[in-house]
């Protein structure tokens, strides 16, 4: 057995051992080639359970966190998903293997352009990468069945709540940019938002507007 196959098997075993049990999520994690979403200098660590740096001072989240957030989001086959914080496009690619459509917003032009090209080359045709202000979401394509935010907000962005469909779910890291953060799950009901605290996390900050450079 090749080292690559062994590495992938250990990767999937790690996810199961850490509690990921949703079969659609596991299939998506197994299908998406993570080595194409990390910088070449980090390719040897593509399947290690750790966050890795990418351009513009951003990161690609550790695989367990990607799988955990996807599982908690409870994405279904017919769903339209908004992702805030495209990064390298890895989370969007995972989501695209389950959802009908993924709209992903990135504030850095460099990351948006490279993710768009990468996803197109790899055949993820149901992902739309847009350059924009993540805090404002993308109202023209709302409502969304699911919203996932991959950068830490200091408060819940009302614009994203407004763009979430009734019975929709949003997952986001919440907390101070320089302190401890928690992963929060919000469910939108007729009565309002139901909030559940999941796990402690550490994400790059969610900043307003498009980046002036990069």
Q: Provide the annotated active-site residues.
A: 61
- Nearest of 57, 32, 72 to residue 173 by alpha carbon: 72
First to last CA, the chain: 42
> What is the per-residue burial (b if ≥16 Cβ within 10 Å, else e) of 138-177?
beeebebbbbbbbbbbeeebeebbebbeeebbbbbbbbee
Backbone torsions φ then ψ of 139, nearest 5 degrees? -65, -25
H or E stretch at 193: strand 192-201
Strand segments, DSSP code E, in 19-112 are 52-53, 59-60, 80-84, 101-106
Distance of alpha carbon 190 from alpha carbon 193, whole angstroms: 8
| Angle between helix 23-31 and 3-17 (nearest 10) | 150
SS3 state of residue 192: strand
Is residue 109 classed exposed, middle or buried when 0-12, 13-18 and 19+ CB atoms within 10 A define those classes?
Answer: middle
């Amino acid at each position: 057995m090749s080292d690559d196959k062994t590495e992938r098997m250990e990767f999937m075993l790690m996810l199961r051992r850490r509690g990921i049990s949703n079969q659609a999520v596991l299939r998506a994690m197994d299908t998406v080639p993570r080595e194409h979403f990390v910088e070449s200098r980090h390719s040897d660590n593509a399947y290690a359970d750790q966050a890795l740096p990418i351009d513009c001072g951003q990161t690609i989240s550790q695989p367990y966190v990607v799988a955990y957030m996807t599982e908690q989001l409870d994405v279904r086959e017919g769903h339209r998903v908004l992702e805030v914080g495209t990064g390298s496009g890895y989370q969007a690619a995972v989501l695209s293997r389950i959802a009908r459509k993924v709209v992903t917003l990135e504030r850095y032009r460099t990351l948006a352009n490279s993710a768009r090209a990468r996803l197109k080359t790899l055949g993820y045709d149901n992902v739309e990468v847009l350059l924009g202000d993540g805090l404002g979401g993308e109202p023209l394509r709302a409502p969304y069945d699911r919203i996932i935010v991959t950068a830490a907000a200091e408060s819940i962005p009302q614009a994203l709540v407004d763009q979430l469909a009734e019975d929709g779910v949003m997952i986001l890291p919440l907390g101070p940019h320089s302190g401890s953060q928690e992963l929060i799950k919000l469910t939108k009901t007729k009565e309002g938002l139901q909030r559940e605290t999941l796990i402690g996390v550490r994400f790059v900050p969610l900043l307003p507007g498009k980046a002036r450079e990069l």
